[in-house]
């Protein structure tokens, strides 16, 4: 996604400042805000999208997505050249793909707001939490997803249990597939677990992708290859 570095991030045009703030929707994430600054073409970019290109890109993909297959959406996002082979951006990819698909399947959420909340939480889970904390960020992000859609807080009862149970189930699946870490594998595993979980506990159906075949293996020096569920050789075996 090209971003201009001067003037409007979206189109490069000059920014026009108004005396009175106007209500506009962020070009990238859709969040409405009162602003005195927009370009000549009317583009407005919120502070989060301005500071965090990864947030802007992933949110934009999530908002534009029309289907209910979160593995498919996550994989589409991963193909962008701005997404690293591994890295904590995958934590936000997990929760964004789930939120978009959940909304498209009929879940009642305000997606732009949900993405902002999810980003502030997911981006505070550092890369390497899998090995250092014993809590893979992809798994934690499924708990963030359930927390956001159920409105859980530390004082909730049922929602509190639902969010923590979600994370535990994702981590349970992730650990059974063995290390070393792979942010692609763990993203797909966590999302797949969340689809089943939402069906069972929130009575809402999202689509399971057709068999996912990894297209990123050649970029992963620590790939488990045939020992990974998603590797082409594993599927042929
Ligand atoms: Zn513009
Ligand atoms: Zn924004």
Distance 208 CA to ligand 2 centre (A): 29
Could you tell me the residue ranges of all domains in the chain?
Answer: 1-51, 66-208
Helix (H) or strand (E) holding 101: helix 89-104
Backbone angles phi, psi at 202, to 5 degrees: -115, 0
The whole-number pLDDT of residue 154 equals: 97
Question: Which phi and psi angles does 18 have, rounded to 5°?
Answer: -110, 155
- Structure tokens that stand for 37 in this block: 């600054």
pLDDT score of 236: 64
Tell me the CA–centroid distance for residue 222 and ligand 1, in Å.
42
> Residue 114: its pLDDT value, please?
97
- 32-39/15-25 β-pairing: antiparallel
**What's the 42 CA to ligand 1 centre distance in angstroms?**
6
Counting ligands in written order, which one lies closest to the CA of residue 26? 2
Best CA proximity match to 42, nearest among 76, 15, 72, 4: 15
Q: Within 13 Å of residue 220, how many CA atoms lie on the same side as its CB?
A: 20
Quote the ligand 2 centre to 3 CA distance (angstroms).
13
pLDDT digits (tens, 9 = 90+) for 81-115: 889 999 999 999 999 999 999 999 999 999 999 99
Q: Report how far ligand 1's centroid is from the alpha carbon of 9 (Å).
A: 7
Ligand 2 centroid to Cα of residue 27, in Å, is 7
Identify which ligand lies nearest to the alpha carbon of 3: 1
Ligand nearest to the Cα of 43, by number: 1
What pLDDT is attached to residue 237?
55
Nearest ligand, CA 7: 1
Instruction: Spell out which residues have Cβ within 5 A of ligand 1, the ion.
Output: 8, 10-11, 13, 39, 41, 43
Rounded to the nearest angstrom, the distance between the alpha carbon of 26 and the centre of ligand 2 is 5
Nearest ligand to the C-alpha atom of residue 40: 1
Ligand whose nearest atom lies closest to the CA of 37: 1
Number of the ligand closest to the Cα of 39? 1
| % of the chain exceeding 90 in pLDDT | 92
Spell out where 28-144 has E strands.
32-39
What's the whole-model pTM score?
0.93
**Is a pLDDT exceeding 60 seen at residue 78?**
yes
Identify which ligand lies nearest to the alpha carbon of 14.
1
Q: Are 104 and 65 in contact (CB under 8 A)?
A: yes
Using the mean position of ligand 2's atoms as its centre, give its distance from the Cα of residue 50 in Å: 7
How many angstroms does the Cα of residue 192 sit away from the middle of ligand 1?
A: 38
Report how far residue 124's alpha carbon sits from residue 136's, in angstroms, rounded to the nearest whole number.
13
Structure tokens at 195: 């689809």
pLDDT score at 2: 76
- Whose structure tokens read 């966590």? 190
């Amino acid at each position: 996604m090209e971003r201009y570095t001067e003037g409007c991030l979206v189109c490069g045009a000059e920014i026009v400042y108004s005396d009175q703030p106007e209500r506009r929707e962020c070009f990238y994430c859709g969040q409405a805000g009162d602003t005195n600054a927009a370009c000549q073409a009317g583009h407005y970019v919120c502070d989060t999208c301005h500071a965090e290109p990864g947030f802007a890109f992933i949110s934009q993909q999530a908002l534009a997505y029309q289907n209910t297959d979160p593995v498919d959406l996550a994989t589409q996002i991963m193909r962008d050249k701005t997404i690293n082979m591994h890295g904590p951006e995958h934590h936000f990819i997990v929760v964004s793909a789930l939120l978009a698909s959940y909304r498209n399947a009929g879940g009642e959420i305000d997606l732009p707001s949900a993405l902002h909340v999810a980003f502030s939480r997911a981006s505070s889970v550092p890369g390497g939490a899998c090995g250092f904390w014993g809590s893979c960020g992809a798994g934690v992000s499924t708990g963030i997803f359930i927390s956001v859609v159920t409105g859980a807080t530390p004082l909730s009862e049922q929602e509190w249990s639902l969010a923590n149970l979600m994370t535990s189930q994702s981590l349970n699946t992730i650990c059974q597939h063995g290390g070393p870490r792979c942010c692609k594998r763990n993203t797909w595993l966590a999302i797949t677990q969340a689809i089943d979980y939402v069906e069972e506990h929130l009575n809402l159906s999202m689509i399971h992708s057709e068999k996912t075949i990894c297209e990123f293996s050649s970029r992963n020096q620590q790939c488990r290859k045939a020992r990974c569920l998603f590797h082409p050789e594993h599927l042929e075996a």
